[in-house]
Structure 1
Amino acid sequence: MWNGSTNAVAALLGGALLWSLAEPIAIYQPAWAARTQDYTPDQFISVLNGLGYPVTLTTVFNSPVVQQSIRDFQLQYRLPVDGTLNPPTQDIAADLVRKLQTDLNRVVKLENPLPASQFYGRQTEAAVRLFQQQNKLPETGIATLETRQRINDILNDALPRPGQGSSPGGSSGGAVQGIYTEAQLRSLLLGFGYDVNPQQPLNGTSAVRAIQDIQFLYGLPQTGQADQRTQEIMATLVKNLRNSLKVVLRSNLPITQFYDAQAQAAVREFQTRYGLAVNGSANLAVRSQIDAAARRVNP
């Protein structure tokens, strides 16, 4: 199993949820004018936590993981990237939470409808948890990417409502419950520099250790199983990587959650340009260097 430096871990921790939001990087068009009031640090941490960023409600606001998560949020929506609660950042956050609450009111039969406020509190968490329960999703109370996509799908009539004969999550052909197939997960682990036997299943020793390492780095239970939350983090990491490579290389690399031949080629190009060992493998140290290079392009 590959072991990275603690500095590299610190540099990348906050990047874990840049892609937890459903939209790709784009200029965001808010539906509401602005927040009704400024967020306190604790209130904004609640928003970050509720939208799936890797912060807990007890995380100190000036900690590196919170500051990086704010930067990732700002980069996602083409906002001034300074890691602070600048007005545009607060306005977009308020709009996202209001939209989530309004959408939940439309798809979940709540005894007390959500107020469509800018705050992600216990009532919103309970509504998200109820929606997840109704739709056979992990009941976390956190509006993960999968949760928000499912809400949007229902609102767009792309998925049948619960109880109409649907079987969400069903898969075949070697698929793992969640985002990736087993083959895709193995490719991702190999691409991230882990010594994984591509011929062994994901419950093999090398794959389990690699997954445990990712879970440790990003504050997840170290089960060694590629559960939904772990796959979401992995998908976010790959999307962050591809976006940073696109910025640094000024390429047309598509932003997907897969570590495929295109991603490998882009990593090789980066390694060539920066005098690194050219192997197409983006271990934690390489990802840290790519992330740093991207920030120099877009400070």
Structure 2
Amino acid sequence: MLNRLNGAIATVLVIAAWVAGGQSAWAVRSQNYTPDQFVSVLFGFGYPVTPGTPLIDVRVQQAIRDFQTQYRLPVDGTLNAPTQDKAASLVSDLQTNLNRAMQPSPQLPGSQFYGAQTKNAVALFQRQNKLPETGIATLETYQRLQDIISDAIPLPGQPTTPIAPTAPPVSSVPIGTLYNETDFRAVLLGLGYDVNPAKPLNDAPAVRAIRDFQQRYGLSETGRADQPTQEKAAIVVRNLRNNLKTVLRNNLSIFPFYDDVTQASVRQFQTQAGLRVDGIATQTVRAQLDATARRVR
């Protein structure tokens, strides 16, 4: 009898822990997004969509897929549960950090919605920090906000001497709305730039590579993976994948990441074109691919 009772108690405790875990995982998203609300989130984080555009719009569909790919979510172009949960978490974290950095009154609610209050708070933060006042959480805005937070603004009741946060692994550090460090390093390597895959993007060879990329495409030579640089890289990789899809007549999806499939497709083109087969889309390879794609079209 005692064993049965202990077993029942254990079962109840396990169920209670599972429920508590589930509640915490779903706590940020209080409800499903409407299409307009989710498009506002995408717009607020810098994806190239226009508020009020329907979900069936091709640009919105691509933005959702890019969002899902960036955050390693199921990629189907729909507002599936993991996609909504991730969006809710990102907006809530942004609002929380703005509250810590700015102490607005009233404070942002820490909700899942990127509405007028959040947009105005982002714009005010940008104005105060001499950034372009867009109300969009751009890379520069995100980096400045993180700088302020990491400079140890204490929460109420916490000691004023900050405890240095544990830095995430270099390979997973988010650097903007399109890429994290791993993703952007893969783009540089895939396009033929000389960077060390084990080093962060502030490593001297990586800084030189980024400056070379920026110079080639007429960007400000900051040596950082800033938002204009990321956006140009995304265009280059999308164009590369589109040309590969045209020339190889495969079903390659058009997104801005240089993954194993991209590398394999580049190898296939290099083999067909009699080029050195290494899976690296240098400027020479891309130029020949572009010329071939034009003839095919």
TM range (shorter): 0.5 to 0.7
Q: Using the alignment, how far apart are the partners of 1:153 and 1:274 within structure 2?
A: 48
Partner AA of 1:136 in structure 2: K
Partner AA of 2:49 in structure 1: V
1:184 matched to 2:206? The reply is no
Q: Using the alignment, how far apart are the partners of 1:59 and 1:274 within structure 2?
A: 41
Partner AA of 2:35 in structure 1: P
Q: Using the alignment, how far apart are the partners of 1:113 and 1:276 within structure 2?
A: 62
The equivalent of 1:248 in structure 2 is 261
Are the aligned partners of 2:139 and 2:227 in contact in 1 as well (CA < 8 Å)? no
Are the aligned partners of 1:32 and 1:95 in contact in 2 as well (CA < 8 Å)? no
Partner AA of 2:75 in structure 1: V
With over 3 angstroms needed to count, the CA separation of the structure-2 counterparts of 1:249 and 1:52, relative to structure 1, is closer
Q: Using the alignment, how far apart are the partners of 1:274 and 1:135 within structure 2?
A: 52
TM-score by length of 2: 0.53
Are the aligned partners of 1:245 and 1:270 in contact in 2 as well (CA < 8 Å)? no
Q: Using the alignment, how far apart are the partners of 2:274 and 2:127 within structure 1?
A: 47
Q: Using the alignment, how far apart are the partners of 2:89 and 2:59 within structure 1?
A: 23
The structure with the largest alpha-carbon Rg is: 2
The CA deviation at 1:238 is: 5.7
Quick one: which of 36, 41, 45 aligns to 1:51? 45
The equivalent of 2:231 in structure 1 is 233
- SS of 1:118 mapped into structure 2: coil
Are the aligned partners of 2:95 and 2:118 in contact in 1 as well (CA < 8 Å)? yes
The CA deviation at 1:280 is: 2.4
Tell which deviates more after alignment, 47-56 or 269-278: 269-278
CA-based RMSD of the aligned residues comes to 3.7
The CA deviation at 1:149 is: 1.6
Are the aligned partners of 2:40 and 2:115 in contact in 1 as well (CA < 8 Å)? yes
The equivalent of 1:72 in structure 2 is 66
With over 3 angstroms needed to count, the CA separation of the structure-2 counterparts of 1:76 and 1:230, relative to structure 1, is closer
Unaligned runs of 5+ in 2: 1-23, 154-209, 220-225, 241-254
Q: Which structure is higher in RCO with an 8 Å CA cutoff and minimum separation 6?
A: 1
Partner AA of 2:213 in structure 1: Q
The CA deviation at 1:101 is: 0.2
The CA deviation at 1:244 is: 3.6
Q: Using the alignment, how far apart are the partners of 1:118 and 1:249 within structure 2?
A: 34
With over 3 angstroms needed to count, the CA separation of the structure-2 counterparts of 1:229 and 1:138, relative to structure 1, is farther
With over 3 angstroms needed to count, the CA separation of the structure-2 counterparts of 1:64 and 1:120, relative to structure 1, is same
- Name the structure where helix makes up a greater proportion of residues: 2
Identity %: 51
TM-score by length of 1: 0.53
Are the aligned partners of 2:28 and 2:111 in contact in 1 as well (CA < 8 Å)? no
Partner AA of 2:126 in structure 1: Q
The CA deviation at 1:32 is: 6.3
The equivalent of 2:118 in structure 1 is 124
Are the aligned partners of 1:50 and 1:120 in contact in 2 as well (CA < 8 Å)? yes
The equivalent of 1:272 in structure 2 is 270
1:198-209 to 2 correspondence within 5 Å? 202=218
The CA deviation at 1:274 is: 5.9
With over 3 angstroms needed to count, the CA separation of the structure-2 counterparts of 1:184 and 1:250, relative to structure 1, is closer
Aligned positions, number: 187
- SS of 2:104 mapped into structure 1: coil
Partner AA of 1:245 in structure 2: Y
The equivalent of 2:31 in structure 1 is 37
The CA deviation at 1:271 is: 3.5
The equivalent of 1:133 in structure 2 is 127
Q: Using the alignment, how far apart are the partners of 2:259 and 2:74 within structure 1?
A: 19
Partner AA of 1:233 in structure 2: E
1:97 matched to 2:95? The reply is no
The CA deviation at 1:270 is: 5.8
1:58-107 CA distances to partner (integer Å, 9 max, x unpaired)? Answer: 32221111011111111112111100000110011000000000000001
Are the aligned partners of 1:31 and 1:95 in contact in 2 as well (CA < 8 Å)? no
Are the aligned partners of 1:48 and 1:55 in contact in 2 as well (CA < 8 Å)? yes
The equivalent of 2:185 in structure 1 is none
